[in-house]
Structures are given as structure tokens and as C-alpha cells.
A and B are shown apart, each in its own frame.
Chain A
Amino acid sequence: MRHRLPLLLCLIAAFLLLPAAAPGAISDTAVKAAFLPRFARYVTWPASAHSSGPIVICVIGDDPFGRMLNEAAASQQVDGRSFVVKRLTSASAASDCAIAFVDGGRTEEILAALGRQPILTVTDARSSGQRGVIHFTVVGGRVRFFIDNAQAQARGLTISSRLLALAIGVNQK
């Protein structure tokens, strides 16, 4: 009973905000929020990292999603593992992040700070030219993405070819 009250409050707040954000159609942001946990289905992390427990999705820097990401994460599972969303301000506490959405003016700095950790970094062309492993863009009104497979391999990640096939561009260097 203790958890229900804040959840209810959140729902009410979301209800009030929705018309302002995306009237009539699902917004690109919502699509991106839905995509983030889905990437986990097509990515294999190194055996040493993130092998058990909930998969942690971190939002580092600006948070464009708000509750949308939490809802998307809550509705999905991968191989019986649930998702946890964390919001961080710096890369310092990102070691348990499996997926990290990096946005805002400090994107370059944060990406650099994340170094070569086995983290699926996701960036957005809307706010930054800096690219993580996956880089969102919008083509023809639809959310699409680039994949930097070379960076993924450098981080010890294996990306499914099925996902690579969907990318509008793949860096294979």
C-alpha cells in the first residue's frame, strides 16, 4: 500500500502533461523511450558484466523521457530480467549501467568519461553530434538510428545482425 500512492500521483501528473507534449500521436521521444529497453534484446554483453539481476538503463545528463522511460521499462522483460531506470548526472556512477542514454550539452564529456566500459551508449542527433554506439535520428518522420559496431566491439558488446539490419548506417571500422 505504501507504493501505490506515489504511482497514482505520477499517473495523474502524466495525464495532465500529455496533451501538451504530444497531442494525437505518439511522440518521437516516446518511441525512443520504448526503443531503449528493446535494444537489450539484440545486444549481448560480455559474460563478466550485467549477467544477472535487473538490467539497468541509465539516463546520464538531460532527461527528455521522464515517466515514459520508466513505463516502457516496466512493461518489458528480456529473458526474465526486468529493467531498472537510473538517472545520473555524471559518468562516475555508471559502472552498473547496461544501457546509458547520454543527452544534453555535456554529452561529449560524459561519453569520454564512460571510457570503454561494457555499456551500450545511446545518443540523440537532436541534441548532440556526438555519437554513442547507437545514435537516434529521425528520418521521414520516423525514429531511426545509426550503429557504431566498431565502438560496440571495443566495449565488448555483440550486436545482433537483425538490429544492424535496421540501422540506417553502421560503422564497421
Chain B
Amino acid sequence: MRSLPKSLLEWRTAPTAIFLIAMLIVAGGIGIILQNEVTFRSARDRQAMVAAEVLAGSVTAAVDFDDPVAAKEAVDAFQVNPQVRYVAVFDGGGSMLAAFDRSGKRSRLSLAQLPAPPPTNYRVAVPVVSAGERVGTAVYEVEREAVARRLTRYVILGALAVLAALVIVTLGLAQAALHRANRELSERAEALSQANELLAEQIAGRAKAEEQLRQSQKMQALGQLTGGIAHDFNNLLTVIQGSADILTRDELADDRRKRFAKAIVQAADNAAVLTSQLLAFARRQPLKPEVVDLSQLVAGMTDLLDRTMGERIKIETSLERSTPPVTVDRNQLQSAILNIASNARDAMPDGGTLTIRVSEIRSEAGERMATISVSDTGAGMDADTASRIFEPFFTTKKTGKGTGLGLSQVYGFATQSGGEVFVDSEPGEGTTVTLLLPCSEPGMAVARQAEEPALPEQPRAEILVVEDNEDVGQFAETLLTELGHSVTLATSGEEALELTRDHDFDVVFSDVVMPGMGGLRLAERLAEEKPDLPVVLATGYSQEIAQSGSGGRPVILKPYRLATLSQALADAISGRS
């Protein structure tokens, strides 16, 4: 708005100035024409007067001495000028002495008889003076320049002036138009930059809104996660607590006591699976990678899958035996395949075909990758569902039928193993889940599947248990004492270090995560002070171990089973001896 009055002013004043200049030019042209006309007239009059006076002077003697021949000679001299129409000399009495008339009609008339000149002609009469005395009259008549010719000249002049004015007007208007166009352009540029600023603001606003949305989604996911965990654990805790309550009764029959104890063990197992899957999704599961041949693994799982899938689902495998081995956690991979397969089964309630393929591809970077894909012929799913299936606790199944953690374990396992997982599905077209895993370094031998360890014969040993959690510590002490070992309990790394200086232990069993000196630090210090003293680490979850490993020391995972613990300690002690 602020530039509007200025632009209006320019628009109004510029053409006014131009027209003023143009009018000045035209007025100048008219002035020149008028001046020209006046000059022309006066010059013509003067010329006629001079000619008449020249005639009068030259015929003085002829008039004096009444000599028509001499007078005629003088008169005829003017004939050469074609504009001269009539020249005559009269004596003092007005009688014609000599005359020339181009029309021939007036050449004999006396001064008194001479008619007025026609309007196209201009006449001058000059006295012939001799010795101060008027002796006669000289008459000189010329044709005015033809009006048409003069007009033509003036029209040309006028046209030139008008042309100049037109040029000025055109140039001026063009200039004004250019100014206007420039102004409009700059206004548009300004509007554009304003629009741009607005757009930038909107983008920033949208980014903020998206950030808020993401945050709220995160909170929602977190809520779902914690809710899911609480729900599942509450179920398990109900079983454990109920069973434990019954076990505390004195008058319980031995077989019932065993049944409730087994129920507790079962619930704890389930809880362990739950937490391990959670950790797998969080990619913080301590992995035990080993070189695995995918074809062998899948072939070895077909019996298990047959049982899991039921009779109505046919299982087909397509295994490229040449597929290179991969380095992954075997148990986690098996879990992942089972998780995918169980989802496939639930997608095919009326039966169908489950196809497992193992093949090799090359990534875009030229890296060899092994793929294992699991396809079903079930209901499939829409894109929205497909984008959420890896979220923990996301499930489309009825309450109690699924935890919502199966596929999130698959996702966590794949990414933690350096691979990827893809889902390809259309509603009604079935679903294919593909795991993409990096191949092992060449030359790595495929490990044989380890046997589940049996509870070994235990020699009595001096064991230092380091555990900051009093309950867990006492539990471990109880367990190990039950196995016939001598147990000393320390509640911190510092205390444990102190104890090892005073007493010789066969093995140190330490928790990893503790306030102050952690298990890893303690193990390092012990390696310096007592390099022969073996250390076994235990952890439920440790970022440090998941990232950098335990430095070659055995690690057992919480919750640990009695057999696992005693085997690990026995291995450590026998390793020393």
C-alpha cells in the first residue's frame, strides 16, 4: 500500500510531462511556420520594393526624355523572373511609357486605367524621381508564391514537428510503460518473497507439528510397551505368587508341591522369554554369534515347524545349498523364523502353504548377503498394518493370543545382526517376510549345535559372589551352597577386591551392573592382581557387554538356570586348573 500513491503520481505526471513537451514541439513548429510566413511576406515585399525602386531609378532618364524604347528595355529586363507578372513605367501625366504584362492584357493601359492587382499578385508603385521632382511612376507586380506550394512547405514542416512530438510521446509512453512494468515486477518479487517467507513459516510450523506428533507417538508406543509388559508380567507374577503362596503351606503333599514348583519354573521361563524378546527388539540382547549355514538350519527346523503349523498347512522349502553361511546367534535366528512362521500360521486359519526360501544375493555395494524369506498364502495386510508390524506389542490378534512381541524380536535380531528385514504384503495376496543377513568371513567353520548341558558333577569350590542386589545375592548363595560350594558374598566391586586379597577363591561370580566398580572393571582389576583367578560375569542386560563384549570372560544371562550357572562355574574352575 505504501508504494501506491507514489506509483499513481508517477503514472499521472509522466504522460503529462510528455504531452507538454510534445505540445511545445508542435507549438514551436507552428511558431516557426508563422515566423517563416511573416519573414517570407516582408522579404517578398522588400524584394518587390527594391525591384520597383531599381526600375524607377533606371528609367529616370527615359522618363525625363520621354524615351519608351529605353524604358521598355528597362522593363523587359524583369521578364526573366517568372514570378514577375507586370512591370510598367508611367510618365508624370500617368501615360504609359513602357509596360510588360505576362498575361498581355494590361500592357497598353495608363496608370489611371490600371485595375487592382489580382489577389494572387502583389503590386508596388514607386515614383520616378528626377532632381527631386516626381516625373513618373514605376509599377512592379509579382506573383505571390503559390499558396498550395507554401502550404505544402508548411505542412511538411508541421508534419515534421508532429512527427517529432509523436516520437517524444511514443518514447515517453514506452519509458513510462517500462517504469510501470519494472514497478509491477518488483511488487511481484516482493509478494513472492513474502509468500516464500510465509511458506517457510508454514514449513517450520509443520516440522514442529510433526515433531510433536512423533513425540506423542513415541509416548504412545512407550505407554503401549510398558502397558504390555505390565500385563504380561502381571499374568506370570500371578502364577508365581499363587504357586509360592501354596508352597508355603506345611501340610502340602509332595507331588502337589512339585507341581506348583514346576508352575513357578514355567512362569519364570515365560517371563525370561518375554524379557529376552524385549531386549532383542531393543537390540540390546547379548548375542552369541556363530557361523550358521541357513539351509542346514531351516532343514533342521522342518519337523518343529510341521508340529507348530498343524496339519492344514503344507510346508515347502527352497534351499540353495551354495548360500554362504552367516554369523548370527543361532537361537535368536530360530526364534525369528518361528515367530514369522507362527504369524503366517495365524494368517492362514483355513490352511495354506508356508514357503521358506534360502538364497544368496548381492547388495548394491557388491556385498554378499544371504536371504531367508518366509511366505504364506494367507489374508495379507494393508500398507498401514505392514508399516506397524515390527512395533512391540502391536498385534491384530485377539487378547491373549499374541504378545505383539514376536515380529519385534525379528526386527531387533535382524538389525542387531547387521542385516535387514522386509515385509511384502497385499490384502488377499499373502505375506512374505524376508531376512537379509550379511555373510560370514570366508573360512569360518560352521559350528556344531551345542548340546544342552547336563548338570555336571561338582567338586567343592570356594566361590566369591559379587551382587549388589541383596535378594539375588542371597538366592545365588543359596543355590551354590545347595550345590555343595562354599560361598562368600560381596555387595560391591570394591568389597570383592578387598576380600580376594585376604582369601583365596577358586572363582569369582560377579554381576556386571553395580554402583561404583562394575563387574567388568572388577574383572580387569582382578586380572592384574590375581591373573589366575577366573571370573564369571552375569547380566540381565548390559549395554557395555552388548557393545564391546566381556573381554573373553564367560557371561551368563539372567535369569539363569541352575544347570547353566554350575556348568559355567565348573568350566571356569577347570579352565584354571
Which A residues form the contact surface with B (CB < 8 A)? 31, 35, 38, 41-42, 76-79, 142-145, 160, 162-163, 165-166
Contacts and interface: CB of A to CB of B under 8 A. Distances in A.
B66 A41 contact: no
B4 interface: no
A165 B66 CA distance: 13
B66 A142 contact: yes
23 contacts: A31-B66, A35-B65, A38-B64, A38-B130, A41-B130, A42-B64, A76-B133, A77-B131, A78-B131, A142-B66, A142-B68, A143-B66, A160-B61, A162-B58, A162-B60, A163-B61, A163-B65, A165-B61, A165-B70, A166-B62, A166-B65, A166-B67, A166-B70
B70 A77 contact: no
A144 B67 CA distance: 8
B214 to A, nearest CB: 127
A84 B130 CA distance: 20
Contacts of A78: 131
Interface of B: 58, 60-62, 64-68, 70, 130-133
A111 B133 CA distance: 32
Contacts of B130: 38, 41
A41 B65 CA distance: 11
Q: Which of B58, B66, B130 has the most CB of A within 10 A?
A: B66
A111 B7 CA distance: 107
Contacts, number: 37
B132 A77 contact: yes
Given A76-B133, A79-B131, 20 more contacts: A31-B66, A38-B65, A41-B64, A41-B131, A42-B61, A42-B64, A76-B131, A77-B132, A142-B67, A142-B68, A145-B65, A162-B60, A163-B61, A163-B65, A165-B61, A165-B70, A166-B62, A166-B65, A166-B67, A166-B70
A113 to B, nearest CB: 28
A162 to B, nearest CB: 4
A170 B133 CA distance: 27
> Nearest 5 CB-CB pairs, A to B?
A162-B61, A41-B131, A166-B67, A38-B64, A78-B131
A166 B97 CA distance: 14
A76 B132 CA distance: 10
Contacts of A41: 64, 130-131
Nearest to A35: B65
Contacts of B64: 38, 41-42
A157 to B, nearest CB: 16
Contacts of A79: 131-132
A170 B58 CA distance: 19
A42 B61 CA distance: 8
A77 B65 CA distance: 16
A38 B62 CA distance: 11
A41 to B, nearest CB: 5
Nearest to A75: B133
Contacts of A163: 61, 65
A74 to B, nearest CB: 14
A144 B402 CA distance: 161
Contacts of A142: 66-68
A143 B68 CA distance: 11
Nearest to B74: A165
Contacts of A166: 61-62, 65, 67, 70
Contacts of A77: 131-133
Q: Which of B67, B70, B132 has the most CB of A within 10 A?
A: B67
A166 B64 CA distance: 10
Nearest to A31: B66
A166 B59 CA distance: 10
A42 B131 CA distance: 10
A156 B132 CA distance: 25
A144 B68 CA distance: 11
Contacts of B65: 35, 38, 145, 163, 166
Contacts of B68: 142
A33 B67 CA distance: 16
A118 to B, nearest CB: 20
B71 to A, nearest CB: 10
Contacts of B67: 142, 144, 166
A41 B131 CA distance: 7
Q: Which of A35, A77, A145, A165 has the most CB of B within 10 A?
A: A165
